[in-house]
């Protein structure tokens, strides 16, 4: 059968061609295996709508096998390793990821549609995360606690939370998986990872590299499949000790409710509708470039996308014009084409969702300055869109669109913009541009958001916590907060008398 790789002029590496040249199996207990019922599904190139390859579709039985393999590794080889030895393996893994960076990046770009340089950035960040968390492996300490009880010695011992189920989305496939895997492994946990059905390939290749780095069999298992079957089986499984999830708020609610049945702790990194606020004393050129990048990078499929641009009245028209000019200069195309700066949306479903939102926005009174429609053809491309003078109450101003669609609004004062920016159910990120230091930090204090970016936007580092307030979720990826998510505390009491 013809696949997307048969398209003329597509410069795909031999190792990538060979990886997708046969259907991909599950990775359980260190082995590549078919699904119990032999089921597979297609993963699609969103630039062409054509199949890349078939991937095994894990059933509840496969999830059960993966959980048992993870338990065995926890109680066996991985659980017995001292922190320093875990750290060495994670450092070796970071090196292997770098050695295979071009291969992993092409695979990611093909499966997700993102421009290759963005995928390359993701993969370098994957390696950096493993390096950062490798550093924590031998620094996990308890405390001795003075108490009011005479003759007592009390100390705490942090221990890994156990078998972790990680369910991740398709926008940064391997990087989001890494945000869960790196701290979980550093803490000494084992994992069953379920990548998104739209983008299963990079996690499967990564699992092979993890084995090559010396991760014992069963420490990391990858079960590919759909949310309602494979994902749900993982959340329901009594042998899973914790669920970590990045994805939609709607599914986050379902996961929280399902996990409650087995009293599993859950961490949720969910959606956002993040305000990007520009005061009239800002560096207008830098702010406009950042505002465009905050919504058009990855075609707007970023949880912390700056999707609601709020500009002080005096420079509103200028900002809208500048961002529009940048939108119109973007080059749409397949992620592997060297001149592409705007890739397709990940799936037909996502294209339909974005199209629906924009139609609703226009019918509710927003004006499209540019874009506003999908591109005719087989791929899932949507034109970069700027909407102006959008009222606060309309759907496109309140809900996450997850596409290259920027809502813009003027504002007058600091108090007003802070109040309006916070009047949303989300609280993931916010950006503020001003040359007034006091105003910048005042805004940082007022905004209800897990990350506030002052004169920058969407900066990330493995050492810095990232996550949401309100219905953007709870728990943090990144930094020490992420590590602690995968530890639980045992208190030990001793009678010295």
Q: Which residues are catalytic?
A: 269, 303
Please state, in angstroms and rounded to a whole number, the distance separating the CA atoms of residues 74 and 188. Answer: 8
Count of residues binding ligand NAI (CB under 6 A)? 26
Q: How far is the CB of 347 from ligand NAI (least distance, A)?
A: 8
| Dihedrals phi, psi of 493, to nearest 5 degrees | -100, 135
Residue 440 contact among Mg ion, ligand NAI, none, beta carbon within 5 to 8 Å by kind: none
Residues β-bridged to residue 55 = 24, 41
Which residue has the closest beta carbon to ligand NAI? 227
Of these, 118, 402, 453, 486, which contacts ligand NAI (CB under 6 A)? 402
List C-alpha distances in Å: 120 to 273, 297, 336, 341.
26, 14, 11, 14
Alpha helices in 372-452 (DSSP H): 395-398, 414-422, 437-446
248 binds ligand NAI (CB under 6 A): yes
Minimum CB distance to Mg ion, residue 198 (Å)? 4
Which of 113, 227, 335, 462: binder of ligand NAI (CB under 6 A)?
A: 227
Contact call for residue 197 and ligand NAI (CB under 6 A): yes
Q: Which does 235 bind (CB under 5 to 8 A by kind): Mg ion, ligand NAI, none?
A: ligand NAI
Residues found in the chain: 497
Q: Report in angstroms how near the CB of residue 181 gets to ligand NAI at its nearest.
A: 14
Q: Is position 224 an interface residue for ligand NAI (rule: CB under 6 A)?
A: no
111 binds, among ligand NAI, Mg ion, none (CB under 5 to 8 A by kind): Mg ion
CA distances from 317 to 312, 323, 369, 409, 417 (A): 10, 10, 11, 10, 17
Stretch 133-172: interaction string toward Mg ion, x if CB under 5 A:
----------------------------------------
Cβ neighbours for 422, distance < 8 A, ≥ 6 positions apart: 446, 447, 448
332: its two tokens: 């749409």
Query: Going residue by residue from 52 to 91, which x/- string records binding to ligand NAI, judged by CB under 6 A?
Result: ----------------------------------------
Residues 34-93 that bind Mg ion (CB under 5 A): 43-44
DSSP assignment of 179-204 equals HHHHHHHHHT-EEEEE--TT--HHHH
From the CB of 6, what's the least distance to ligand NAI, in Å?
27
- Sequence-distant (6+) residues with CB within 8 A of 58 are 26, 35, 66, 194, 223, 224, 225, 229, 230, 233
- In the complex with ligand NAI, which residue's Cβ is closer, 270 or 417? 270
Instruction: Copy the structure tokens of residue 236.
Output: 């329901």
What is the C-alpha separation between 409 and 311, in angstroms, rounded? 6
Q: Does residue 303 belong to the site contacting ligand NAI (CB under 6 A)?
A: yes
- Interactions with ligand NAI, residue window 151-180 (CB under 6 A): 167-169, 171
| CA atoms of 232 and 227, how far apart (whole Å) | 6
Under rule CB under 6 A, residue 360 binds ligand NAI: no
Which residues ranging from 430 to 459 are in contact with ligand NAI (CB under 6 A)? Answer: none
Select the binding partner of residue 248 from ligand NAI, Mg ion, none (C-beta < 5 to 8 A, by kind): ligand NAI
Closest CA relative to residue 338, chosen from 50, 185, 116, 153: 116
Cβ 245 to ligand NAI shortest distance, Å: 7
Stretch that binds Mg ion, among 21-29, 68-76, 103-111, 188-196 (CB under 5 A): 103-111
Among 61, 228, 415, 416, binds ligand NAI (CB under 6 A): 228
Confirm or reject binding of residue 103 to Mg ion (CB under 5 A).
Answer: no
Mention every residue, 6+ apart, whose C-beta is less than 8 A from residue 355: 373, 374, 382
The whole-angstrom separation of Cα 278 and Cα 434 is 7
CA distance 392 to 403: 19
| Residue 108 binds ligand NAI (CB under 6 A) | no
| Region of 20-28, 66-74, 189-197, 289-297 interacting with ligand NAI (CB under 6 A) | 189-197
Contacts of 115 (CB under 8 A, 6+ apart): 109, 335, 340, 341, 342, 343
Q: Distance (Å, rounded) from C-alpha 369 to C-alpha 321? A: 9
The reply to whether 128 sits near ligand NAI by the rule CB under 6 A is: no
- Kindly state whether residue 111 participates in binding Mg ion, applying the rule CB under 5 A: yes
Summarize as ranges the residues that interact with ligand NAI (CB under 6 A): 167-169, 171, 194, 196-197, 226-228, 231-232, 235, 246-248, 251, 254-255, 269-271, 303, 353, 400, 402
Summarize as ranges the residues that interact with Mg ion (CB under 5 A): 43-44, 111, 198-199
């Amino acid at each position: 059968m013809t696949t997307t790789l048969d398209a003329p002029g597509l410069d795909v590496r031999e190792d990538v061609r060979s990886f997708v040249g046969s259907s991909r199996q599950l990775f359980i207990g260190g082995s590549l295996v078919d699904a119990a019922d032999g089921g597979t599904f297609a993963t699609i190139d969103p630039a062409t709508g054509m199949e890349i390859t078939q991937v095994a579709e894990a059933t509840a039985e496969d999830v059960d096998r993966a959980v048992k393999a993870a338990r065995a590794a926890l109680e066996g080889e991985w659980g017995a390793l001292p922190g320093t030895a875990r750290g060495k393996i994670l450092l070796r893994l970071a090196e292997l990821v770098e050695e295979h960076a071009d291969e992993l990046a092409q695979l990611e770009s093909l499966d997700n549609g993102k421009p290759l340089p963005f995928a390359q950035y993701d993969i370098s960040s994957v390696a950096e995360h493993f390096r950062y968390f490798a550093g924590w492996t031998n620094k996990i300490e308890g405390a001795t606690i003075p108490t009011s009880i005479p003759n007592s010695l009390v100390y705490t011992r942090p221990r890994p939370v156990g078998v972790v189920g990680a369910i991740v989305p398709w926008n940064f496939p391997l990087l989001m998986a890494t945000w869960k895997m790196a701290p979980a492994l550093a803490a000494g946990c084992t994992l069953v990872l379920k990548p998104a059905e739209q983008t299963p390939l990079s996690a499967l290749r990564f699992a092979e590299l993890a084995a090559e780095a010396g991760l014992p069999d069963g420490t990391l298992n990858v079960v590919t499949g759909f949310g309602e079957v494979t994902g749900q089986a993982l959340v329901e499984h009594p042998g899973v000790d914790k669920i970590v999830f990045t994805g939609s708020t709607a599914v986050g609610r379902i996961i929280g409710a399902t996990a409650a049945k087995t009293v599993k702790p859950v961490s949720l990194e969910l959606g956002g509708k993040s305000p990007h606020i520009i005061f009239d004393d800002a560096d207008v050129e830098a702010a406009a470039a950042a505002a465009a990048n905050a919504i058009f990078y990855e075609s707007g499929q970023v949880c912390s996308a700056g999707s609601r641009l709020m500009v002080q009245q005096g420079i509103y028209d200028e900002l809208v014009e500048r961002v529009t000019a940048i939108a119109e200069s973007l080059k749409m195309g397949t992620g592997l084409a060297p001149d592409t700066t705007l890739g397709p949306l990940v799936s037909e479903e996502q294209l339909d969702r974005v199209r629906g939102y924009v139609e609703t926005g226009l019918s509710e009174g927003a004006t499209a300055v540019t874009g506003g429609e999908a591109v005719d053809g087989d791929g899932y491309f949507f034109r970069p869109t700027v909407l102006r003078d959008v009222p606060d109450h309309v759907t496109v101003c309140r809900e996450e669109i997850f596409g290259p669609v920027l809502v813009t609004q003027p504002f007058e004062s600091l108090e007003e913009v802070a109040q309006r920016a916070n009047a949303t159910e989300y609280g993931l990120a916010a950006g503020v541009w001003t040359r007034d230091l006091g105003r910048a930090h005042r805004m940082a204090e007022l905004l209800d958001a897990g990350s506030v970016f002052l004169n920058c936007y969407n900066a990330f580092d493995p050492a810095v916590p990232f996550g949401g307030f309100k219905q953007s979720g709870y728990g943090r990826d990144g930094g020490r907060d992420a590590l602690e998510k995968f530890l639980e505390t045992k208190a030990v009491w001793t009678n010295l008398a």
